[in-house]
Amino acid sequence: MSAEFRLRGRVLVLYADAAVVRRELEAEGAAVPGVLELARDVSTDEMAPAWGSYYFDERLGEYCLTGFRGGAVAHGAVQRGGFEVLVGGENFGCGSSRETAPYAQLVAGIRLVVAKSFGRIYRQNAQNIGLFTTSDFGVLERLTRGETILLDSLAEAEDAVTLAIARHGGLLAYARARLGGAVSVPVPAASERAQTIVEKIIAAHTVRDARGENVGVAGVRPGASLFVRADLRFSHEYVTPMADALLRRAFGEGARVAEPESVLLFRDHLTFARDVLSDDAQRLPLLRQAELLPEAQAEFAARHGLRLFGEVEAEGRRGSLAICHEAMLESFAEPGSVIVGTDSHTSTAGAVGCLAFGVGSTDMAAAWMTRDARLRVPETVRVELDGRLGPAVTAKDVMLTLFATPLVQEGAATGRVLEFGGPGVASLPLDERATLANMAVEAGALTGIVECDEHALRELATLRGCDAERWRSRVVRPDPDAPYAAWVRLELGAIEPMLALPGDPKRVQALAEVVARGAPRIDIAYAGSCTGGKRRDMDSYAAVLGPAALRGERVAPGVRLFIQAGSESVRRYAEERGYLAIFERVGATVLGSACGACIAAGPGTSRSADEVTISAGSRNFPGRSGPGRVFLASPLVVAASALAGVVACPPTDIGGQQ
Residues forming a β-bridge with 307: 264
pLDDT in tens, 388-410: 999 999 999 999 999 999 999 99
pLDDT exceeds 70 at position 1:
no
pLDDT in tens, 94-151: 988 889 999 999 999 999 999 999 998 999 999 899 899 999 999 999 999 999 998 7
Q: How many CB atoms lie within 10 A of CB 419?
A: 26
Asked if 332 contacts 195 with a C-beta cutoff of 8 angstroms, the reply is no
Q: What pairing do the DSSP bridges indicate for beta strands 508-510 and 629-632?
A: unpaired
pLDDT in tens, 450-467: 999 999 999 999 999 999
What does pTM read for this prediction?
0.94
3-state helix, strand, coil in the chain (%, to 5): 40, 20, 40
pLDDT exceeds 80 at position 156:
no
Task: Give the per-residue pLDDT at 657.
Answer: 47
Asked if 484 contacts 453 with a C-beta cutoff of 8 angstroms, the reply is no
CA distances from 372 to 128, 263, 441, 466 (A): 15, 12, 21, 29
Compare 173 and 1 and report the one with higher pLDDT.
173
pLDDT in tens, 435-444: 999 999 999 9
How far apart are alpha carbons 150 and 96 in whole angstroms?
30
At 500 the three-state DSSP class reads: strand
How far apart are alpha carbons 71 and 550 in whole angstroms?
44
How far apart are alpha carbons 85 and 166 in whole angstroms?
18
pLDDT exceeds 90 at position 55:
no
When pLDDT is averaged across residues 52-81 and rounded to a whole number, the result is: 88
How far apart are alpha carbons 232 and 332 in whole angstroms?
8
Asked if 36 contacts 20 with a C-beta cutoff of 8 angstroms, the reply is yes
At 260 the three-state DSSP class reads: helix
When pLDDT is averaged across residues 13-23 and rounded to a whole number, the result is: 92
Exposure string (b/e) for 150-170, b if CB count within 10 Å is 16 or more? ebbebbeebbebbbbbbebeb
Residue 35: Cβ-neighbour burial (10 angstroms; 0-12, 13-18, 19+)? exposed
Nearest to 309 by CA among 297, 317, 292: 297
Task: Give the per-residue pLDDT at 157.
Answer: 66
How far apart are alpha carbons 240 and 504 in whole angstroms?
28
pLDDT band at 277 (very low <50, low <70, confident <90, very high): confident
Walk across the sheet containing 338-341 and list its strands: 307-309, 263-266, 232-236, 338-341, 355-358
When pLDDT is averaged across residues 404-423 and rounded to a whole number, the result is: 96
Please name each of the domains of the chain with its CATH number: 4-168 (3.20.19), 496-658 (3.30.499.10)
CA distances from 492 to 304, 348, 398, 410 (A): 47, 21, 7, 22
- What SS3 string covers 286-343? HHHHHHHHHHHHHHHHHHHCCEEECEEEECCEEEECECHHHHHHHHHCCCCCEEEECC
* Phi, psi angles (nearest 5°) of residue 33: -60, 135
Compare 542 and 67 and report the one with higher pLDDT.
542
At 23 the three-state DSSP class reads: helix
CA distances from 74 to 9, 80, 204, 607, 611 (A): 19, 10, 48, 18, 22
| Mean pLDDT computed over every residue of the chain | 93
Task: Give the per-residue pLDDT at 658.
Answer: 44
Task: Give the per-residue pLDDT at 49.
Answer: 83
Compare 51 and 593 and report the one with higher pLDDT.
593
Q: Per this entry, what is the length of the chain? A: 658
When pLDDT is averaged across residues 622-640 and rounded to a whole number, the result is: 95
At 481 the three-state DSSP class reads: coil
Using left for φ > 0, alpha for ψ between -120 and 50, and beta otherwise, residue 179 falls in: alpha
CA distances from 512 to 334, 416, 501, 519 (A): 39, 31, 13, 9
pLDDT band at 281 (very low <50, low <70, confident <90, very high): low
Residue 483: Cβ-neighbour burial (10 angstroms; 0-12, 13-18, 19+)? middle
Q: How many CB atoms lie within 10 A of CB 266?
A: 30
For the chain, the straight-line distance linking the first and the last C-alpha, in angstroms and rounded, comes to 63
pLDDT band at 246 (very low <50, low <70, confident <90, very high): very high
How far apart are alpha carbons 72 and 65 in whole angstroms?
8
* Phi, psi angles (nearest 5°) of residue 521: -70, 160
pLDDT exceeds 60 at position 287:
yes
At 128 the three-state DSSP class reads: helix
Residues forming a β-bridge with 624: 626
Residue 76: Cβ-neighbour burial (10 angstroms; 0-12, 13-18, 19+)? middle
pLDDT in tens, 566-607: 999 999 999 999 999 999 999 999 999 999 899 888 999 999
pLDDT exceeds 50 at position 538:
yes
pLDDT band at 154 (very low <50, low <70, confident <90, very high): confident
